[in-house]
Chain A
């Protein structure tokens, strides 16, 4: 993992998140849950898919030829 920075959240929300993890599992701690939720919320589709505009146009062309768009 890269460098970490601190983020402040309310104590109440922190306690709720901790309880959520205790009951549901899946995350090591609140930091991991926060990191997961943040990355879900702000991810850039182009970045996650790794496609150039030219490639996107090629895909659109295929979709057009098949009648999907």
Chain B
């Protein structure tokens, strides 16, 4: 059977029925908090079970437990705090008490109702040290934390509507992937996390996993991007080209996950695994330096951290970096190839970008021609 949701039950907290009527009648008088897109995305992910068993933004007990022990206060593994911040000025202007409902707005659009349970402060430098293993504001995750408000609000929430999603057609929620896997008769599913277009190294890793499971969930993260990244729709087109030409029919589900990226390296690797467990995956492919950035994490830290979570409920698959070996005549990794460095051609993402940016096709040992065509035929494949 597919994985049970983390913590036992899939969270579903979408405002419906009588609660929605009450909200619509009273929302004009409720306190309001405008949130950035990242928090609106968190709110929808919480309500649709992506972060099961969390039912809302973390209260202080859970937050501190996650920070210090990488577990919720009930001992369930959890590595990335999911918190809602506000400014002290906003809080003082509201006169809030526990039990009050707060409407979260994104671009003035009501997104969710938060029932306040807890208001607390956070030590952002300590948060950075624990979550990102650095206090350096040059780390993008740390920089983002330092820019957030000084107050945290904890409490369960109910979704009114998610923020506008340009990739709605490709977005499946945990409830939907679970029905889909059941319909396909898959009992074992390996999830592959990505933010890139696929090259032959990715294909090798995915097919290695697919050899042992019923199906593959290719799960690109959409959302915030930095300059030079591939556009989300380009990643989708590239994967559609790859799977339609090089994978058997019916063994791959391609779906987008809208979730914030923290670049928290090892902690985030575990977080990504937990999230995919909620989607029904039984296995999760963990890359070398998974969710890393710069040189903040060791190349195998994201593998080693899984030893601390024998009770995760999803099996991590540690697949080594693939390269082309001119003596083997194909994609291999160092575990299966005896030949020296002089025969190894590594696929550099930077080099691939340079080639594609010029509108050229990379060599076929790097990228499938159909994938390259899907990218270079796009009028503007990169974020500017």
Contacts and interface: CB of A to CB of B under 8 A. Distances in A.
Interface in B179-199: 179-180, 182-184
Interface stretch (B302-310, B332-340, B371-379): B302-310
A32 B309 CA distance: 14
A59 B4 contact: no
A14 interface: no
Interface residues of B, number: 27
Contact of A43 (B8, B176, B180, B308): B8
A45 B313 contact: no
A59 B313 contact: no
B179 A24 contact: no
B144 to A, nearest CB: 30
B179 A60 contact: yes
Contacts of B183: 60, 63, 69
Interface residues of A, number: 24
A31 to B, nearest CB: 14
A9 B268 CA distance: 37
Nearest to A25: B308
Interface string B156-192: 0000000000000100100110111011100000000
14 contacts: A24-B307, A28-B75, A43-B1, A43-B4, A45-B182, A48-B4, A49-B9, A50-B9, A51-B179, A59-B175, A60-B179, A63-B172, A63-B180, A63-B183
Interface of B: 1-2, 4-5, 8-10, 12, 75, 77, 169, 172, 175-176, 178-180, 182-184, 253, 307-311, 313
